[in-house]
Amino acid sequence: MSTKLPLTTPLAEDNSLFRDLYTRMLRQIQVDAHNVVGVTSSVDGEGKTTIAINLAITLANDHGLVDSGKRSGEILIVDCNPGTVGTSKGLMVESIPGLIHYLRHQYPVDGIVKQVFLPRLWVMPVGSSPFDFSPLIRTEVMKELIATLRERFEVIILDLPSILTTTDTLVLAGLADQILLVVRSGVTPSAVLGQALERLNRDKLAGMVLNDYRRPLPRWLEKAV
């Protein structure tokens, strides 16, 4: 998509700022239904899972996504972080079975997609041990899964691994329509962010989310957008 999101600065405890992020992103989502949005960061510890979860909750709370019964308005967040349980723990669902089990042909889609405390919000945990995660996401089965999910859900949010920790992130980002890059204010070095931006497909970069924003933007970050 050619339209870029302005740099946004949500605080984890301020729901109004998540609504602002959502409003800006919705302008792009409404262009094409069934969008897949990847949320990532340069390195671990920047708060990307928190951003992904809160964005999914905000989307699920918007009844305007349902258009006279023609659109489901259902939101799915997919945990793509093997070896962690952040998304499933944050949304209070069992961490297994999940994505890995489906890719191993052990469960059907309905067996790994779980509804949470909101009527239109669903989560797909990553599943069990991550030893074969990398080869599994590089199969046609993964591509076919995303295609199947597009037909069922209005918006799919992929909680991706951080960019500089694994090449899996770029593989998964290739399945998304747009990417949000989370940057932790005062923590992420400019050189690290620069490396991450070099690896991303900039055509898919919808914008950056400045997490824990407490002061005016550093000049280097303004120039990076």
Q: Any long-range contacts for 17-23 (C-beta under 8 Å, 24+ apart)?
A: 18/54, 18/55, 18/57, 18/58, 19/58, 21/55, 21/58, 21/209, 22/55, 22/58, 22/59, 22/62
Query: What tens digit of pLDDT does each residue of 198-218 get?
Result: 998 888 888 888 776 655 555
Domain over 15-224 is classified CATH 3.40.50.300: yes
Confidence of residue 37 (pLDDT cuts 50, 70, 90): very high
Residue 9 token pair? 């600065």
What does the pLDDT average to over 32-50?
84
Give the number of C-alpha atoms closer than 13 A to the C-alpha of residue 43, restricted to the C-beta side: 11
Query: What tens digit of pLDDT does each residue of 123-151 get?
Result: 999 987 778 899 999 999 999 999 999 99
Confidence of residue 67 (pLDDT cuts 50, 70, 90): low
Are 178 and 206 contacting, i.e. CB atoms less than 8 angstroms apart? Answer: yes
Are 18 and 31 contacting, i.e. CB atoms less than 8 angstroms apart? Answer: no
Please state, for a pLDDT cut of 70, what percent of the chain lies above it. Answer: 74
Residue 210 backbone phi and psi in degrees, to 5:
-85, 110
Residue-range domain boundaries for the chain: 15-224
Confidence of residue 1 (pLDDT cuts 50, 70, 90): very low
Contacts of 207 (CB under 8 A, 6+ apart): 4, 5, 6, 7, 8, 24, 25, 180, 181, 225
d(CA 81, CA 58): 22
Residue for token digits 């089965």? Answer: 141
pLDDT of res. 121: 92
